[in-house]
Amino acid sequence: MSLCDRSPVAKLQDHSSTSLHSPDGVVRRYSGRVLVFRVQEVFFSRRQTTEAVSDSHAMGRTRHQQTSSRVYPEYSHQSPADSSDHHSKHHSQEMSEDGGDEDDDNSSIVSNFPPVPPHHHHHHHHHHHSPLLGRVPSTTIFFRRSAEPSSSSAGSSSYRNLRTRSRGFVGKVSCRWIRMPALLLLSLVAILSFVVVPWYQSRADLDLTLLRGLENHLDAFAVHNISAPDGSIYGSFVGIGASLQSLFVKDRHGTFRDIVLGYDNTSEYLHHPSNPRFGSVVGRYANRIKNSSFVIPGYPRRIFHTTPNEHEGLNTLHGGAPGWDRRPFKVEAKNLSYISFSLVDRDGEQGFPSEVITKIEYQLLSGGKWKTRMTAQAKGPTPIMLSSHVYWNLDAYASSESASKHFLQLNASQYIAVDPILVPTGALQPVKDTPLDFTEATEIGSRLNQTLGLCGEDCIGYDNALVYHSNRSLDLPAMSMWSHQSGIKMSVVTDQLGVQIYSCNSILSFDPRVKPIPRKKSQMGPHAIYENFSCIVIEQQGLIDAINHPEWNVDDIHGPDKPYEWNSVYEFSTI
């Protein structure tokens, strides 16, 4: 049946959809990789209800009336005007209860764009696996249909006569003037499906992430540049994850180098399948939560369950999927050297109770300093632990492609023992006589051959949480790292209890099907790639999974009377 023959409703059916219930209660549809533009109201919906026709009426219907018996009534909260409309709504409700299709207002035009070929995930400590959808959905278009008068109304007879008389006009004019625009529209949809493909991924949580950004009119992929008043340091940030995209400091020769990993194409912060969380804020609870569950003191009989996203559902990493690293933050304020972002994390998001409003502040100061401050206010008791997930290479890949020759010094006397999947056991072990002893400055790669199993089962490298000295001064650096090749040195003053170090053991997957991550142009890219052990992640944070280890006497539960704070200052100099 042609597009014109299906007047007044033309619909190209898509049978490969999946329903999605968003947190705001609206039922949306997605199929494959969907980019949602909600200008006035766009819904993922599909209606397949058919008006029941009694035998007595069916005998007298014309072919056109039989074709028109498939109705798509407008969504309404009012009672149906007649029994046929009531039956249609009742039938739709039955289908919904039986697992069939639900619907919303079909007055909008919805386009389900086909997906790109599926990406394959690779696994390391910051990755999680998710199912990939490889089906290519057809395009679904809903045209607005005016409500028909009830058959019991006085004007129904003349209405049907008018429709019958206009049949010739519809057949001659619509096929001539509607078919061509419809074909052009479908062609445009096909073209757009390739143009906007980097914006979205086949996972429903990313569809919702982008939808929220569009609803709030956020340009989460815009690049925001700031610099210190004396020009000693400058950098750029993006709204997705409130992420640090680049940070330029001077080497010993006075040349600016970009010393953090990231993407030139900022849409990759949302859609890249490996999701290394380059420079992002991780939360609502950083690192791992054992068994994806916890209790809150005062609510001992209730177990809260967070979204598992690592090791086949055994634990939650960095707040679930999507965590704050893939959420669109709003720019609150900005000047030449300062920018702040905000995020509202809803009650129940990823299983965490209570609404949390957070503010992320970045400032570049004279003397080569980067100041970061994170605050969060919860409306009720909930665990909060944030961190800045920055990947560093102090050579900027110019003089060396490895960070293994960087020197690291940590004022940390203990490390948190973990099981084979990197979940804390509860033991705090001394670093003395272990490869994790960085109390004296040590070349990071000098003891890599001693780390087998230290970063998980069959793993070589570092992926460990250490505990700073309890009696250290908060005004002095808790750690320092430098490169003799570039001469760049980074010192960090922080108020956090500990630090996570990760030596980029598996940023490059051994699976040949997984595409490597191209370097930025500022780091000899994009034809060169980020390779294993070419960077190091330094995460200032609390004690991981402390909510499940009361023996540590660390209270990660925050509420109206206990706001959360995170403060760190990164100072860059040369040696």
Query: 3-state DSSP helix/strand/coil percent for the chain, to nearest 5?
Result: 20, 30, 55
Would you say 321 and 352 are in contact if contact means Cβ atoms under 8 Å apart?
A: no
Q: Enter the tokens of residue 121.
A: 């995930």
Confidence of residue 573 (pLDDT cuts 50, 70, 90): very high
What is the spatial distance between Cα 479 and Cα 538, in angstroms, rounded to a whole number?
A: 10
Residue, of 510 and 238, whose pLDDT is higher:
238
Residue, of 407 and 39, whose pLDDT is higher:
407
Judge whether residue 382 has pLDDT over 60: yes
- The 10s digit of each residue's pLDDT in 419-473 is 999 999 999 999 999 999 999 999 999 999 999 988 888 899 999 999 999 999 9
Q: Look at the chain and count its residues.
A: 575
What is the spatial distance between Cα 128 and Cα 314, in angstroms, rounded to a whole number?
A: 11
Residue, of 274 and 166, whose pLDDT is higher:
274
Q: Write down the pLDDT at residue 100.
A: 40
Mean pLDDT calculated for residue range 545-560: 96
Cis peptide before 131 (omega within 30 of 0): no
What is the spatial distance between Cα 242 and Cα 329, in angstroms, rounded to a whole number?
A: 6
How much of the chain exceeds pLDDT 70, in percent? Answer: 62
Residue, of 182 and 196, whose pLDDT is higher:
182
Q: Write down the pLDDT at residue 46.
A: 34
Mean pLDDT calculated for residue range 516-525: 95
Q: Write down the pLDDT at residue 274.
A: 84
Alpha-carbon distances, residue 145 vs 9, 106, 135 (angstroms): 7, 8, 30
- The 10s digit of each residue's pLDDT in 7-27 is 333 333 333 333 333 333 333
Give the angle subtended at the CA of 262 by the CAs of 519 and 280, to the nearest 5°: 160
Judge whether residue 102 has pLDDT over 50: no
Q: Enter the tokens of residue 507.
A: 């940023």
What is the spatial distance between Cα 106 and Cα 487, in angstroms, rounded to a whole number?
A: 62
Please, what are the domains in the chain? 215-381 (2.70.98.10), 391-574 (2.70.98.10)
Mean pLDDT calculated for residue range 312-333: 92
- The 10s digit of each residue's pLDDT in 104-156 is 433 333 333 334 334 443 334 444 333 333 333 333 333 333 343 444 444 44
Nearest Cα residue to 67 out of 158, 144, 137, 171: 171
Confidence of residue 216 (pLDDT cuts 50, 70, 90): low
Residue, of 175 and 261, whose pLDDT is higher:
261
Per mean pLDDT, which range of 47-56, 224-233, 539-548 is the poorest?
47-56
| Contacts of the segment 208-211: beta carbons below 8 A, 24+ positions apart | 208/20, 208/22, 208/23, 208/322, 209/270, 209/322, 209/326, 209/327, 209/328, 210/35, 210/36, 210/270, 210/328, 211/22, 211/28, 211/36, 211/38
Per mean pLDDT, which range of 188-192, 306-310, 384-388, 568-572 is the poorest?
188-192
Average pLDDT, the chain: 75
Nearest Cα residue to 281 out of 316, 310, 244, 315: 244
Helix (H, G, I), strand (E, B) or coil at 434: coil
Tell me phi and psi for residue 180, to 5 degrees: -65, -50
Output the 3-class SS for 87-115.
HHHHHHHHHHHCCCCCCCCCCCCCCCCCC
Q: Write down the pLDDT at residue 325.
A: 95
Residue, of 505 and 219, whose pLDDT is higher:
505
Could you say which DSSP state residue 337 is in? S
Helix (H, G, I), strand (E, B) or coil at 489: strand
What is the spatial distance between Cα 321 and Cα 341, in angstroms, rounded to a whole number?
A: 20
Nearest Cα residue to 332 out of 323, 322, 340, 321: 340
Alpha-carbon distances, residue 262 vs 255, 363, 468 (angstroms): 20, 19, 28
Alpha-carbon distances, residue 399 vs 115, 278, 436, 475, 526 (angstroms): 40, 22, 27, 33, 17
Tokens 């400058």 belong to which residue?
234
The model carries a pTM of 0.66
Confidence of residue 221 (pLDDT cuts 50, 70, 90): very high
Confidence of residue 360 (pLDDT cuts 50, 70, 90): very high
Query: Active-site residues: which are they?
Result: 389, 539
Mean pLDDT calculated for residue range 390-410: 95
Mean pLDDT calculated for residue range 404-413: 97
Tokens 């029994």 belong to which residue?
83
Residue, of 401 and 379, whose pLDDT is higher:
379
Mean pLDDT calculated for residue range 45-65: 39
Q: Enter the tokens of residue 151.
A: 């058959």
Judge whether residue 374 has pLDDT over 60: yes
Nearest Cα residue to 294 out of 286, 304, 281, 284: 304
Per mean pLDDT, which range of 42-46, 261-265, 281-285, 483-487 is the poorest?
42-46
What is the spatial distance between Cα 203 and Cα 225, in angstroms, rounded to a whole number?
A: 31
